[in-house]
Amino acid sequence: MAGKLASLAMAGLLAGTAAVAHAGQNAPVLTSENTRATAHDITLWPEARSPSAITDTATENRISAILAAMTLKQKIGQLIQADISTITPDDLAQYPVGSLLAGGNSGPYGDERANASEWDRMIREFRAASTAPRAQGVAVPIIFGIDAVHGHNNVPGATIFPHNVGLGAAHDPDLIRRIGEITADEIAGSGIEWTFAPTLAVPQDLRWGRAYEGYSSDPAIVASYSKAMVLGLQGPLKSGVEIDATHVAATAKHFLADGGTEGGKDQGDAKIGEDELVRVHNAGYPGAIDAGALTVMASFSSWNGAKNHANPYLLSDVLKGRMGFGGFVVGDWNGHGQVPGCTVTDCVPALMAGLDMFMAPDSWKGLFDNMYSHARAGDIPQARINDAVRRILRVKAKLGLLDDPIPARRDYAAIGAPEHLAVAREAVAKSLVLLKNSGSVLPIKPGAKVLVAGEGANSFAMQSGGWTISWQGTDVTREDFPNGQTIWDGIDAAVTEAGGSATLSEDGSFAEKPDVAIVVFGEKPYAEFQGDVPTLAYQPSGASDLALLKKLKSEGVKVVSVFLSGRPMFMSREINASDAFVAAWLPGSQGAGVADVLVAGADGKPVRDFTGALSFPWPRDAVSPIADPLFDLGYGLSYTKPGTVPKLAEGFGLDIAQALNVEDFFVAGRAQAPWEMSLTDAGGKRSVGPAPSSSAGGAIVARSVDYAAQEDAKSIVFTGPGTVSIDGPAADLSRQLNNAFALRLDWRIDARGDAPVSLGMGNNMVSLDDWLDGAPIGEATTLRIPLRCFADLGADFAQVGNALRIDAGVGFAATLIGANVEAVGENYDCPPAAPVAPAQ
């Protein structure tokens, strides 16, 4: 058969009039013949069932007709999802992929800040290309997915809700359902029909950088939310009725135990028994499946060494079999490439295990070619291909994507609608948890003189966290939130309305002594592995925020701390230095919700009382997992239920220096605690974070780039003389010096330039000019220099405060991939010494 999808529709095939036998939901699940090596007990798992509305007879007959008409190449295409940054509409003629996504740093036409109409226009262009007439087979429309994990967080002006860590503290499933409805309305309003949410992780180790994506460490809370969010996003499913234009397909993720990895390592290994896997980490999935979740995303992580992307027991026996999931399983970002024996462009085992759609953002073309070759050679059973395609077509049918015309999803006015913003503000207020309120310093009294301090007070980036406009969320500005308020905005308005006055001073300085200071501080934005930490210590070195609290207390000012974070952390020092302490999590765009609870009106009463309660235990020390909490699950004070917090012990509970692993200076695109990266030129010194940075005088520009994963390296470009350094508190590396260790630098030289280049530890520099003359340009390479080379120049390895220093000038550019010290033996020579540039 030939022609576009509309041709089949007119022929009656897509309308369900062809009576073709089909494999229904209860058909046997096809997997690899490589049987499960480990003994399992399937009876431990709860039984669930996708609604029959997904697999009704008319829909299955309709899909069978499409399958019968599709070419093998078109079927393989349905199994592959590409990122919009690596594909064009014209590519779909040769590579008819079934799905597209916009990753965390992708936007329409290369614009991360595109508005809803631009998103819609781009999707319609791709969809038109996907349904263009074909010489053979059937042209099936793409399905478009996006990470909308706390509102439609990819579009400026959209409603940004608190991250899940805060919503868990609200203990309000109805609020979760309403948030799902609003998020779906705004996603659909920009022409998109699929979100990669909700996250049903049950984080057990708060060192995990994705802990804030989980609602709770308590499986009961996650279970109570999963069904509510799916129903909010999709609406109740009905047989023969498509999801309406204000709802979207949901994704239950990440299957399974992404929140149970050893050490809280992102994409790590959950070394746990099957009973714990079921009881804790599967808690949210039965409710999501029963509610009709149309897709499930496989986890990057492993279970007892077996990668979940290719685990037939979990994906096929459990998910599709025991739990009756009738939709399709999508992979995570090139996650199939982590399967032993696979690459990002070739992975039959994942498909055979039960993965239905590969997320192959930049590897789609090679993956398409290889999977097509395997299919033609008979390496993949046609029945497995047809089963995967059938599942994908079920979801497309439910979304109306198989209709002609395809229902429009483009209500641009839904983006940031006032009624949506009101619910976000409500969610902020309900998520706040009051940990301490000595002397009833809260609520702020009418007529008070209020000082608002701290780096987070007027920062949309810090209050919104990762997955906001961009993947890491570090580069957002006020212009991205035209209908939002920072926490300062909300406090200023509320205090003024109550007859008082508010002053913003980030460093806490003041001309007139205030009645009370509200200090807003916390974690900088991060996403995924960028947020992995070695301990739960907050600012283990430096402690600048603690110093600010103590300064204000020493000046006789009452202090209210508002802590912004993606997880509970060891904060006993800061709690002791505060009269009141509020866990505000990552509240999103409606910062005024904080003032609704903290500030009393003219009548002496706040708009809302505290109702939030911890959905994670609060740590007594910096050790994780938390064995003995300071504050248990469910803890939370209020104005009507006050409590007393005694002076807390301030010990970390571990050797911080040892826990921080001072041998690793730079890993996965960032300096590792306690180390920090800085840029220095004649204009001064500036620190470097995930966001694009420049030195004070503009001689150096640093930005995060992709090397082996998203933003896992740092590009450094010199337009003038300057220094890139990694510094920290004095660390003792004398043991490493005595055991023949070397400074190892993994990097890529992008441009040599003519200026001298030197490398050192502290002011003890060696010249790299001879080495660079033979180094490849544009290829990753490793440089090792024995520590003794720097010791011979005078470096004191008992007190290393500068772990790495690169001096360069105009024209030099490099991409820093990793830096650490490692054992190498004695067979490395020392480069010649180099002078230290006085301007740096």
How do residues 627-650 score in pLDDT, each as one tens digit? 999 999 999 999 999 999 999 999
**Where do we find the tokens 């007027």?**
458
Q: Sign of torsion, CA 616 620 626 631? A: negative
How do residues 176-191 score in pLDDT, each as one tens digit? 999 999 999 999 999 9
Is the pLDDT at 543 greater than 90, yes or no?
Answer: no
> Are residues 452 and 558 located together in one domain of the fold?
yes
Is the pLDDT at 662 greater than 80, yes or no?
Answer: no
In sequence order, what E strands does 126-278 have? 143-146, 194-195, 251-255, 269-270
Euclidean distance between the first and final Cα of the chain, in Å?
71
- Nearest Cα residue to 205 out of 217, 215, 213, 195: 217
Range of the domain at 100: 5-23+47-407
693's torsion region: left (phi>0), alpha (psi -120 to 50) or beta?
A: beta
Which tokens in the block code for residue 105?
């740093």
Q: In whole angstroms, what is the distance from residue 391 CA to residue 371 CA?
A: 18
Q: CATH number of the domain at 672, please.
A: 2.60.120.430
The pLDDT of residue 836: 62
124's torsion region: left (phi>0), alpha (psi -120 to 50) or beta?
A: alpha
Residue 779 among the catalytic residues: no
Q: CATH number of the domain at 290, please.
A: 3.20.20.300
The pLDDT of residue 4: 35
> Are residues 402 and 468 located together in one domain of the fold?
no
Which of 543, 566, 598 is where one domain is finished?
A: 598
Residue 590 DSSP symbol: B
- Nearest Cα residue to 370 out of 388, 337, 350, 348: 348
Residue 616 falls inside a structural domain: no
Is the pLDDT at 23 greater than 50, yes or no?
Answer: no
Q: In whole angstroms, what is the distance from residue 814 CA to residue 503 CA?
A: 43
- Residues 669, 713 contacting (CB under 8 angstroms): yes
Mean pLDDT of 476-490: 97
Catalytic option among 147, 185, 290, 332: 332
> Are residues 776 and 824 located together in one domain of the fold?
yes
Which tokens in the block code for residue 429?
């207020």
pLDDT higher at 674 or 499: 499
Which tokens in the block code for residue 263?
């050490």
- Tell me phi and psi for residue 616, to 5 degrees: -130, 150
> Are residues 53 and 92 located together in one domain of the fold?
yes
**Where do we find the tokens 């330039």?**
753
Is the pLDDT at 460 greater than 50, yes or no?
Answer: yes
Mean pLDDT of 613-633: 96
Q: Which residues contact 556 (CB under 8 A, 6 or more apart)?
A: 513
Q: Sign of torsion, CA 819 821 823 828? A: positive
> Are residues 403 and 323 located together in one domain of the fold?
yes
Q: For the chain, how many structural domains are there in total?
A: 3
Residue 269 falls inside a structural domain: yes
pTM here is: 0.85
- Residues 427, 161 contacting (CB under 8 angstroms): yes
Is the pLDDT at 196 greater than 90, yes or no?
Answer: yes
* 5-14, 629-638, 829-838: range with lowest mean pLDDT: 5-14
> Are residues 393 and 535 located together in one domain of the fold?
no
Q: Give the three-class secondary structure for 297.
A: strand
Q: In whole angstroms, what is the distance from residue 65 CA to residue 49 CA?
A: 25
Buried b (16+ CB within 10 A) or exposed e, 420-446: bbebbbbbbbbbbbbbbbeeebbbbbb
The pLDDT of residue 837: 56
**Helices H, strands E: what count in the chain?**
23, 32
- Nearest Cα residue to 599 out of 491, 499, 500: 491
pLDDT higher at 711 or 469: 469
Q: In whole angstroms, what is the distance from residue 687 CA to residue 729 CA?
A: 15
How do residues 379-436 score in pLDDT, each as one tens digit? 999 999 999 999 999 999 999 999 988 888 889 999 999 999 999 999 999 999 999 9
- Residues 357, 388 contacting (CB under 8 angstroms): yes
Residue 440 falls inside a structural domain: yes
In sequence order, what E strands does 740-812 have? 741-751, 758-761, 764-767, 780-786, 800-808
- Residues 687, 681 contacting (CB under 8 angstroms): no
Residue 252 falls inside a structural domain: yes
Which tokens in the block code for residue 514?
């205030």
Q: In whole angstroms, what is the distance from residue 361 CA to residue 682 CA?
A: 41
Is the pLDDT at 447 greater than 80, yes or no?
Answer: yes
- Nearest Cα residue to 546 out of 515, 518, 578: 578
Sequence letter at residue 83: D
> Are residues 113 and 169 located together in one domain of the fold?
yes
The pLDDT of residue 517: 99
For residue 198, whether the previous peptide bond is cis, meaning omega lies within 30 degrees of 0, is yes
Residue 404 among the catalytic residues: no
- Residues of the chain above pLDDT 70, percent: 94
- Residues 480, 460 contacting (CB under 8 angstroms): yes
Give the burial class of 749: count Cβ atoms within 10 A of its Cβ; 0-12 exposed, 13-18 middle, 19 or more buried.
buried
Q: In whole angstroms, what is the distance from residue 138 CA to residue 2 CA?
A: 6
Residue 565 falls inside a structural domain: yes
- Residues 591, 486 contacting (CB under 8 angstroms): yes
Confidence of residue 15 (pLDDT cuts 50, 70, 90): very low
Mean pLDDT of 806-827: 88
How do residues 545-577 score in pLDDT, each as one tens digit? 999 999 999 999 999 999 999 999 999 999 999
Which of 579, 598, 617 is where one domain is finished?
A: 598
Residue 37 falls inside a structural domain: no
- Residues 198, 250 contacting (CB under 8 angstroms): yes
pLDDT higher at 158 or 410: 158
> Are residues 66 and 204 located together in one domain of the fold?
yes
Residue 177 falls inside a structural domain: yes
The pLDDT of residue 25: 38
- Nearest Cα residue to 295 out of 410, 360, 386, 200: 200
Average pLDDT, the chain: 92
How do residues 719-751 score in pLDDT, each as one tens digit? 999 999 999 888 888 878 776 788 999 999 999
> Are residues 673 and 524 located together in one domain of the fold?
no
Give the burial class of 374: count Cβ atoms within 10 A of its Cβ; 0-12 exposed, 13-18 middle, 19 or more buried.
middle
The pLDDT of residue 11: 32
Confidence of residue 37 (pLDDT cuts 50, 70, 90): low
Catalytic option among 181, 205, 213, 528: 528
The pLDDT of residue 687: 87
Which of 547, 580, 598 is where one domain is finished?
A: 598
Going from the C-alpha of 742 to that of each of 427, 793, 823, the distances in angstroms are 51, 15, 6
> Are residues 402 and 424 located together in one domain of the fold?
no
Residue 636 falls inside a structural domain: no
- CB count within 10 Å of CB 363 equals 24
Residue 233: which H helix or E strand, with range? Answer: helix 219-234
Q: Sign of torsion, CA 548 552 554 555? A: positive
- Nearest Cα residue to 344 out of 375, 390, 300, 306: 300
Half-sphere exposure of 288 (CA within 13 A, CB side): 32
Going from the C-alpha of 767 to that of each of 414, 773, 774, 791, 811, the distances in angstroms are 59, 12, 14, 15, 17
How do residues 257-272 score in pLDDT, each as one tens digit? 999 999 999 999 999 9
Instruction: Write down how long the chain is.
Output: 840
Q: In whole angstroms, what is the distance from residue 599 CA to residue 449 CA?
A: 12
> Are residues 384 and 449 located together in one domain of the fold?
no
> Are residues 144 and 247 located together in one domain of the fold?
yes
Q: CATH number of the domain at 485, please.
A: 3.40.50.1700
